[in-house]
Structure 1
Amino acid sequence: MNNKGAKGSDTLRRISGHHLFLPIVFLAVVLLANVIKTPDFFEVSYSNGILYGYVVDVVNRASELVILAIGMTFVTAASGGQDISVGAVMAVSAAVCCQILSGGEVSITAFQNPLLLAVAAALLVSMLCGAFNGLLVARLNIQPMVATLILFTAGRGIAQLITRGQITYIRVEEYKLYGSYIPGCPIPTPIFFAAGTVILVMLVLKFTALGLYVESVGINSSAARIVGLNATRIKFITYVICGLLAGLAGFVASSRIYSADANNIGLNLEMDAILAVALGGNLLSGGKFSLMGSVIGAYTIQALTTTLYAMMISSDQLPVYKAIVVILIVVLQSPVFQQKFRDLRAKLRQNTAASRKEGAAS
């Protein structure tokens, strides 16, 4: 019995010590809250060739956030700071894409220029935005949040200049497909964009040393330089990647509403992306990171949003509840709390060992 108990304790310790344990627990808690509030939360129906249900909606609506969270994870891990301009970069990307497709018109029913050209231009501009942030952070050593505050403030104004202060509508079925459903496919198209991004990045991390370089620079950039890594270049690359992914998320978001709305596309998503990274078990101070943890965190945020809406909480009040979650996560990740938790676990192990010795002696 003692051996079985010891093995069970070791197994539990390994499971609880896994880097994805807490993210999965957070997601499970939120899903449980949804089930309590909405008993049919996990029901998925099929009608007119399309899947419907709360779960489908959560996974679908989280697609842009998943893409943003991946880029935010790289930036956080490498620089120990966050890019708060990603929401504004989404708006810039959408504005460039829709403006090229419309040829400068307010509303169109047919593309004025090739879709591939518009998307390529939008992603290129987004990468330039990321490169601007990267230059300030990596080369000029400006604090990430201060450096990205520039585009956070000016980005939507730039998008307004591109669209001439108007909402540009792309009323073309082909464009709407990227934000809704492809004919004959029951799964929303944005899910494929999110899944494809995750798979592509995971392959890059698996077959290249990018992840190792990012973690090395994030843990100790001075030591990374000594061993031959160009810390400046690596930080710069992470911001370019973050800008690129923000541009992709902006394209998906604009195709959902078949327009470029500079005031609302990506609004407040930068905060959700940061929270997703934190929920994923990643330290906001940089270093080692868990990409899948951030992805799980993104779905947790969207599930939380769905829960709050189901509780009849208005969109204006959502940030308050999300702020409470941020406080809890920051406290759980604080060194003081972590040390107290380790001390408690050690004390419990000592008490368990003492109890076993007393039982064996009797």
Structure 2
Amino acid sequence: MNKGKAFMKRLTGYRLFLPLFCLVLVLFSNLIKTPSFFEVTIKNGVLYGYIIDVINRASDLVILAVGMTLVVAASGGTDISVGAVMSVAGAVCCFILSGGQQSVNEFVNPYILGVLAAILAGILCGCFNGFLVAKLKIQPMVATLILFTAGRGIAQLITKGQITYIRVESYKMLGSSIPGIPIPTPVFVALIVVLLTYVLLKKTTLGLYIQTVGINAKASKLMGIKSAMIIFLSYVFCGLCAGISGLVASSRIYSADANNIGLNLELDAILAVALGGNSLAGGKFSLLGSVIGAYTIQALSTTLYAMGVSPDQIPVYKAVVVVVIVALQSTELKRMVSKLQMNVKSGKKVA
């Protein structure tokens, strides 16, 4: 009996236990409500099904969550502008490729030029946010609120207030699939971003520096770490991730829709970090936890769609589930439960 309790304590104490448990719980609920959720077929040479849709649609969010994880860990704040930055990146790419026209059937400029311009736009947005937070010491949410508010307006200016269409098959591949490969392309993009970030954090001291600055920026200065630079780089990297995610989102709809690309994704990215067991106060972080959190959120959204829930009602259900999951991760709640258990035990002894 004691061995069983010890095993459960070790299991539940595992950092990724709750994120994995939540993901499994969401998926398991489909076995009861929507058994067809796990059916996978091939249409037009591409894998198709609800579970494939989860993996595919979550790719944008996974990329954003990677950048958001570093921002939260280093600054103890969030970047609420990533959705707008996605829109800016998509607008820049489509503007370059279309030469400023509203719709084109072939590239006016080289595809690689549009991609590099979009990524550069994301990086510049990250530099702007990083400068405000790291150098001017503005609160992260207030600093990133500027681009959150103005970002889509900038994208509208770039596209002249219109939706710019790129009706070229090669442009659609990044957001759909490559002929002959049944797995959606965004899955590979997200995997590459996660792997490269993981290697960067593990093979260099950047990961350790981010944690150190996030735990105590003043103490890290005494250790010789340039905390302002670490925070600045975290926001730059988050902008880079938003730029890549914007390219994928734009490719999905083969256009630059300034009003809808990345809409509300910044909130899901923050939730993914929280669901991954990361502290929003900064410090230690789990990249894999954030990735699991991103898939959990997308799995929840897709599950609700599969169950016939109205799109207008989905945010309500999602909010309730997220509140419960985040509450379960609260150290204060765990402390209250432990105190209650101790009171119950002491009450029994007295009796």
TM-score range, shorter chain: over 0.9
| Inter-partner Cα distance in structure 2 for 1:349 and 1:172 | 69
For residues 202-250 of structure 1, what are the alpha-carbon distances to aligned partners after superposition, in whole Å with 9 as ceiling and x for unaligned? 1111201111111111111111111111110100000000000000000
Secondary structure of 1:270's counterpart equals: helix
Identity of aligned residues (%): 64
Q: In the superposition, relative to structure 1, how do residues 10 and 350 fare at CA in structure 2: closer, same or farther (>3 Å)?
A: farther
Secondary structure of 2:35's counterpart equals: coil
Q: 2:105 aligns to what? A: 109
Shift, 1:350, TM fit:
10
Q: 2:163 aligns to what? A: 167
Residue type matched to 1:207 in 2? Answer: K
| Inter-partner Cα distance in structure 2 for 1:349 and 1:217 | 41
Structure 1-normalised TM-score? 0.92
Q: Of 64, 76, 82, which aligns to 2:78?
A: 82
Q: 2:203 aligns to what? A: 207
| Inter-partner Cα distance in structure 1 for 2:133 and 2:166 | 36
After superposition, residues 341-360 of structure 1 pair within 5 angstroms as 341-343=337-339
Q: 1:357 aligns to what? A: none
Q: 1:179 aligns to what? A: 175
Q: Of 214, 218, 225, which aligns to 1:229?
A: 225
Q: 1:140 aligns to what? A: 136
Instruction: Specify every segment of 5 or more residues in structure 2 that has no aligned partner in the other structure, as ranges.
Output: none
Secondary structure of 1:164's counterpart equals: coil
Q: Of 234, 244, 254, which aligns to 1:248?
A: 244
| Inter-partner Cα distance in structure 1 for 2:339 and 2:194 | 37
Q: Pairwise CA RMSD of aligned residues?
A: 1.8
Q: Is the 8 A contact 2:37 2:306 kept in 1?
A: no
Q: Of 137, 154, 157, which aligns to 2:150?
A: 154
Shift, 1:111, TM fit:
0.5
Shift, 1:330, TM fit:
4.0
Q: 2:260 aligns to what? A: 264
| Inter-partner Cα distance in structure 1 for 2:68 and 2:231 | 12
For residues 45-83 of structure 1, what are the alpha-carbon distances to aligned partners after superposition, in whole Å with 9 as ceiling and x for unaligned? 234422111111110010000000001111111111110
| Inter-partner Cα distance in structure 1 for 2:181 and 2:341 | 50
Structure 1 window deviating more from structure 2 (328-337 vs 150-159): it is: 328-337
Structure 1 window deviating more from structure 2 (327-336 vs 89-98): it is: 327-336
State the structure with more CA Rg: 1
| Inter-partner Cα distance in structure 2 for 1:270 and 1:314 | 22
| Inter-partner Cα distance in structure 2 for 1:23 and 1:326 | 11
Q: In the superposition, relative to structure 1, how do residues 90 and 9 fare at CA in structure 2: closer, same or farther (>3 Å)?
A: same
Q: Is the 8 A contact 1:278 1:329 kept in 2?
A: no
Instruction: Specify every segment of 5 or more residues in structure 1 that has no aligned partner in the other structure, as ranges.
Output: 355-362
Q: Is the 8 A contact 1:91 1:261 kept in 2?
A: yes
Q: Of 274, 277, 281, which aligns to 1:285?
A: 281
Q: 1:317 aligns to what? A: 313
Structure 2-normalised TM-score? 0.95
| Inter-partner Cα distance in structure 2 for 1:247 and 1:35 | 37
Structure 1 window deviating more from structure 2 (264-273 vs 221-230): it is: 221-230
Q: Of 38, 55, 66, which aligns to 1:70?
A: 66
| Inter-partner Cα distance in structure 2 for 1:7 and 1:265 | 51
Residue type matched to 2:45 in 1? Answer: G
Shift, 1:348, TM fit:
9.4
Secondary structure of 1:169's counterpart equals: strand
| Inter-partner Cα distance in structure 2 for 1:48 and 1:254 | 22
Q: Is the 8 A contact 1:97 1:122 kept in 2?
A: yes
Shift, 1:341, TM fit:
3.6
